């Protein structure tokens, strides 16, 4: 039998059969939204500097953002993504973290 407890995006699971506690963090997505203000070069440079993307990865993300209106450019825990979202927002790039 498995018991789950939730606490601010962190989930503990206890498996009664093995007596092991396993920490599982919920995975979120950092979403960047298309706008009519920022240039491709600015978004690409920001993704490289803030999110650690390679140039090719950042270029592909920028194209998807432009064509689809938004794109999940990074996945991770909320605490991991929050400073990156804030840094993008500081550069006037629209970014959100999904729940």
Domain that holds residue 79: 27-97
43-96 per-position pLDDT tens digit: 999 999 999 999 999 999 999 999 999 999 999 999 999 999 999 999 999 999
pLDDT attached to residue 21: 56
Q: What share of the chain is helix, strand, coil (3-state, %, to 5)?
A: 40, 35, 25
Contact residues for 74 (Cβ-Cβ < 8 A; gap 6+): 29, 30, 51, 81, 84
Q: How many domains does the chain have?
A: 1
2, part of any domain: no
User: CATH number of the domain that 83 lies in?
Assistant: 3.30.1390.10
């Amino acid at each position: 039998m498995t018991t789950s407890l939730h606490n601010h995006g962190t989930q503990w699971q206890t498996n009664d059969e093995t007596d092991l506690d396993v920490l599982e963090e919920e995975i979120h997505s950092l979403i960047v939204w298309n706008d009519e203000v920022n240039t491709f070069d600015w978004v690409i440079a920001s993704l490289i500097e803030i999110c650690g993307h390679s140039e090719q990865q950042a270029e592909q993300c920028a194209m998807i953002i432009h064509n689809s209106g938004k794109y999940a450019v990074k996945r991770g825990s909320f605490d991991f993504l929050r400073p990156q979202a804030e840094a993008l927002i500081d550069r006037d790039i629209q970014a959100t973290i999904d729940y």
